[in-house]
Amino acid sequence: MIHRIAAFWALLGGGVLIAIMAITSLNIAAYVADYIAETWGGNVYGTTGYEDFVALAIACAGMMFLPYCQAMRGHVVVDVFANLMGQTVQRLLDKLWLVLIFCLALFLAYWMTLGMLEVRGDNALTAILGWPVWPSYVPGIASLLLWALVTSSQIFESTPQDA
């Protein structure tokens, strides 16, 4: 269940990436159209504040990928010395790292919430578009909570499923 929510959340993040792709293509089309229109003295405008938009959108998309990455056990580990440890030790360590990740995700969610309140209090705006920055923190915080949730379900899983 949680696994599916994480997958859905990641797909939403992918939707954000596709939005970036669409805006970029639109801008390039506008640039080309402008180049052609110039020969007749015309003008075609692309959207402004491209970098602003991309930074905000990527911040959302990137964070939204984290829970699914956890669900798939996508975080890299160095496997070389694993064989030297017994199965039980490995499993125990695995659980211990999961507990740490769980704490870390909550720790980050807490501080990012404080960060959001601060950014909102400062009324921080993006440089060109003048959009407020704080709403882009919301999916980030939600992602961290979902990450913690995914991890907690893995802590109580009886058989670790390695992806």
Q: In the complex, what is the shortest distance from the CB of residue 59 to another protein, in angstroms, rounded to a whole number? A: 3
Residue closer to another protein by CB (options 40, 51) is: 51
Binding segment for another protein among 21-29, 34-42, 153-161 (CB under 8 A)? 21-29
Please answer whether residues 90 and 82 qualify as being in contact, where contact means their C-beta atoms are separated by less than 8 angstroms.
yes
Angle between helices 50-71 and 2-38 (to 10 degrees): 160
Q: Which two tokens stand for residue 133?
A: 């920055």
Q: Which two tokens stand for residue 37?
A: 């229109």
Helix (H, G, I), strand (E, B) or coil at 113: helix
Q: Does 150 bind another protein (CB under 8 A)?
A: no
Please give the helix or strand (H or E) that residue 145 lies within, else none.
Answer: helix 137-155
Q: Does 80 bind another protein (CB under 8 A)?
A: yes
Residue closer to another protein by CB (options 23, 44) is: 23
Q: Smallest Cα–Cα separation from 137: which of 153, 151, 118, 162? A: 118
Q: Does 17 bind another protein (CB under 8 A)?
A: yes
Q: Does 155 bind another protein (CB under 8 A)?
A: no
Measured CA to CA, the distance from residue 161 to residue 163 in angstroms comes to: 6
The binder of another protein chosen from 10, 146, 149, 150 (CB under 8 A) = 10
Q: Does 119 bind another protein (CB under 8 A)?
A: yes
Helix (H, G, I), strand (E, B) or coil at 156: coil
Measured CA to CA, the distance from residue 89 to residue 120 in angstroms comes to: 46
Number of amino acids touching another protein (CB under 8 A): 60
Q: Does 58 bind another protein (CB under 8 A)?
A: yes
What sign for the dihedral angle of Cα 139, 49, 43, 30? negative
Residue closer to another protein by CB (options 40, 130) is: 130
Contacts to another protein by CB under 8 A? 7, 10-11, 13-14, 17, 20-25, 27-28, 50-51, 54-56, 58-59, 61-66, 68-70, 72, 74-82, 85, 90, 93-94, 97, 100-101, 104, 107-108, 111-112, 114-115, 118-119, 136-137, 140, 163
